[in-house]
């Protein structure tokens, strides 16, 4: 870990009063399920450093609806969030669904796009927008697929997209 990165991590841990940084996948998912911050901690906008930003962490959680409920809980009314994650546009090939590397890479744990948005809506988050959708071609290229690479990579790429999802907690 670079020094700058380590300083940011220490600062983030202090801000959120986490007992220590996550050291593994299970701990990362646990922090996402139970943010170590009081309710309504984050208020409007990102201009003053408030709000919630996440990049490909929600897919590591086995209970994605609970993560969106936590986002709702810690935001103050009017507080905003922006998350980036991988979603499914179709079913993944079974070989990829069962691949640990694909899970750790946020691919095998991905939810269908409609489910992902529904989790945020069901949590009470509002004015959802998806300002960016990136096809899964580059994501699938990162996987080491072995001898059936071309066929499997094509099927995987067709099933994936990377999205940015924005919204806020109603006033």
Q: What 3 state SS string does the chain have?
A: CCHHHHHHHHHHHHHHCCCCCCCCHHHHHHHHHCCCCCCCCECCCCCCCCCEEEECCHHHCCCHHHHHHHHHHHECCCCEEEEEEEEECCCCCHHHHCCHHHHHCCCCCCEEHHHHHHHHHHCCCEEEEEEEEEECHHHHHCCCCHHHHHHHHHHHHHHEEEEEEEEECCC
pTM beyond cutoff 0.95? no
Nearest alpha carbon to residue 82 among 54, 124, 110, 119: 54
Mean pLDDT for the stretch of residues 76-89 = 92
Express each pLDDT in 37-71 by its tens digit.
Answer: 555 555 544 444 368 888 888 988 889 999 999 99
pLDDT, average across residues 128-138: 91
Confidence of residue 17 (pLDDT cuts 50, 70, 90): very low
Judge whether residue 128 has pLDDT over 80. Answer: yes
For the ranges 27-36, 78-87, 126-135, the lowest mean pLDDT is seen at 27-36
Q: How confident is the model at residue 144 (pLDDT cuts 50, 70, 90)?
A: low
Domains assigned to the chain: 3-168 (3.40.50.150)
């Amino acid at each position: 870990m670079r020094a700058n990165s380590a300083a940011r991590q220490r600062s983030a841990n202090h801000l959120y009063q986490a007992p220590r940084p996550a050291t593994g996948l299970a701990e990362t998912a646990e922090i996402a399920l139970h943010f170590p911050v009081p309710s309504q901690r984050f208020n409007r906008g990102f201009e003053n450093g408030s709000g919630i930003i996440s990049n490909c962490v929600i897919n590591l959680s086995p209970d994605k609806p609970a993560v969106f409920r936590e986002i709702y809980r810690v935001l103050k009314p009017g507080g905003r969030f922006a998350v980036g994650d991988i979603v499914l546009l179709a079913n993944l090939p079974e070989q990829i669904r069962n691949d640990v590397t694909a899970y750790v890479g946020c691919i095998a744990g991905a939810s269908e796009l409609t489910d992902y948005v529904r989790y945020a809506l069901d949590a009470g988050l509002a004015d959802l927008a998806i300002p960016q959708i990136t096809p899964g071609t580059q994501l699938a290229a990162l996987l080491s697929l072995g001898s059936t690479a071309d066929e499997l990579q094509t099927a995987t790429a067709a099933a994936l997209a990377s999205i940015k999802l924005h919204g806020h907690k109603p006033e």
